[in-house]
Structure 1
Amino acid sequence: MAAPISTSPFYVPVDIRHIALLISDVQTQILARFPKETQDAYLAQIQRSLDFFRYEIAKARSSETGGNGLYEGVPLIVHHTLPFNLNANAFVSPYNKLAKWVKQLEEKGLFATISADPHHPNFAIPSQVIPPRGWESKDEIVLGKLSPSFAHHQTC
């Protein structure tokens, strides 16, 4: 796979030794709020970023000798998610603007197939952004958050 090349005047090469990619709230329940075309366009942009980072990580890993590189085993892509349906969505305060939205998602049945088991949560990450080799990759992890960011969502 060739490295994605950007024609943007704002393009800056990434030195993978000094950066990580944080993908926050890319989940099917959240995307379900938008029309299919918007979801597809958004996921295409996410995929471009993932492809770029995955390529750069693979390149950096292949240049490490002896498997003792500075970033050996350090996840460089973090999928930051809300654990919907965990503990009856108690992470959303009834005073938070998200409470109404989460209630609407529940009423639409978007949590019906989600495990409420805290030891085996289903974060509903779209299949398009799951690592090619699955979650066994040492380069990507899922990090659940127990409190949504009010500032991030207040304009939603």
Structure 2
Amino acid sequence: MKKIKSFFVILILSLISANAQSANDYLIYVSNFYDKHPTHIKAYRSGYWVKQATILKNSSKAIFTSSTNCEKDQYGKLILSLEPKIFYNSLMTTLYGGITAKIYGHDGKIITTIFSEDETQGILTVLYEKLVGKLYQKILLQLQNQISTNDAINSYLQKNSEPIEGTFCSILN
């Protein structure tokens, strides 16, 4: 009887684990390089060192709701490797930015690369995270639309249903 109970417990745990593995659409990878080497943004009278990786990870979780960080024991259909770039024009109070997304499949090959850019108006202050986060969310929305309409990605997803494990992202460093 104990063997039967333990068998069912193992069966239920494996079913829960299998559902958790396929729950994510994307595994998001942003290199910690963008935090270790912040970008200097010069405002009219002062400047700020912006750690972009943390802001971009938080913004991507808000936009890509069915995603998680690309880490060991995490599974998803695609890996999105995001590379941010920003520039602030203090005279026009405009923050410009762009994100390059490299989309990887389960075999470790790049399916496609997509670049999206936008701008937002605002005065750069000590709370620059809000302005930068707002810009990244605008760009990520455009990126999400480009991903959903991309022919290479759609044909890949039709042919391959295997989830990708997040250990792959350790080689992206």
- Tell whether the structures are fold-level matches, with TM greater than 0.5: no
For Structure 1 versus Structure 2, the TM-score category normalised by the shorter chain is under 0.3
Give the TM-score taking structure 2 as reference length. 0.19
- Larger RCO, structure (CA 8 Å, separation 6 or more): 1
TM-score, normalised to structure 1's length? 0.20
- Structure with greater helix percent: 2
